[in-house]
Each structure stands twice: as structure tokens, then as C-alpha cells.
């Protein structure tokens, strides 16, 4: 029951459906690759954890002042965290990790 006036609308809807399907596939590929990256980024020692966080911050192009605004954590505390995470509260570590898109999990 395609009338001449509905044909262009149906073509547009088909194009939108195809675009949505392609986006779903891209998202699935992206999720799979980010899971692979997460598996590689284990915390092997507290000494290197702060450096890993700082490397992630730099890779994302986030300045210390911006991270301070995002997290409410002072610049001096951020610097201590990146140097020696044992010197700051866990809530601070969690806040910074969240801002950097890092999920923390404990494995027994």
C-alpha cells in the first residue's frame, strides 16, 4: 500500500534503520575492544598505580586544573595521588578513577 507520498518517507526510514544498525555494530566492536584494554590494565603494584592514573589523565588530554574542577580534589592532593596513592583516601582515588573513566574492582 505504498502511495507516491509515502515512498520517500519509507526510503528515509530504511536509511535511518540501516544507520542505526551500523551504529549498533560499531558500538559492539568498541565495547569489545575496550574490554580487551581493561583486561590489560591491572594494578600490579601500588607504586605504579599512581603513574598509571597520571598516564591515563594525560592520554585523555585532561589538565590537572580541569581534573580538580571535575572531582573537587585539590591540585596538591592530585599530585600526591599520582606520586603515591597510599597517601590519599580511597574516596579520592575512586573519584579520580571515575573522572578518568576507570572502573575499580576487587578480585579475590
Locate the domains of the chain by residue range. 1-40, 46-99
User: If residue 33 lies in a helix (H) or strand (E), which one and from where to where?
Assistant: helix 7-40
> Would you call 83 helix, strand, or coil by DSSP?
helix
In the DSSP assignment, the letter for residue 88 is S
Half-sphere exposure in the Cβ direction for 91 (13 Å, CA): 2
pLDDT in tens, 9-33: 888 999 999 998 888 888 777 666 5
Predicted TM-score of the model (pTM): 0.61
Class of domain 46-99: mainly alpha
Q: Pick from 78, 88, 80, 93: which is nearest to 43 by CA?
A: 93
Give the contacts of 79 (CB within 8 A, at least 6 positions apart).
64
Which residues in the chain come in under a pLDDT of 70? 1-4, 30-41
Amino acid at each position: 500500500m505504498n502511495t507516491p507520498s509515502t515512498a520517500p518517507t519509507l526510503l528515509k526510514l530504511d536509511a535511518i534503520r540501516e544507520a542505526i544498525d551500523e551504529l549498533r555494530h560499531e558500538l559492539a566492536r568498541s565495547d569489545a575492544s575496550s574490554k580487551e584494554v581493561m583486561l590489560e590494565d591491572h594494578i600490579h603494584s601500588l607504586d605504579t598505580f599512581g603513574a598509571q592514573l597520571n598516564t591515563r589523565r594525560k592520554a585523555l588530554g585532561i589538565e590537572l586544573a580541569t581534573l580538580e574542577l571535575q572531582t573537587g580534589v585539590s591540585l596538591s592532593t592530585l599530585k600526591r595521588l599520582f606520586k603515591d596513592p597510599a597517601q590519599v583516601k580511597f574516596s579520592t582515588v575512586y573519584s579520580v578513577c571515575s573522572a578518568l573513566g576507570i572502573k575499580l574492582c576487587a578480585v579475590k
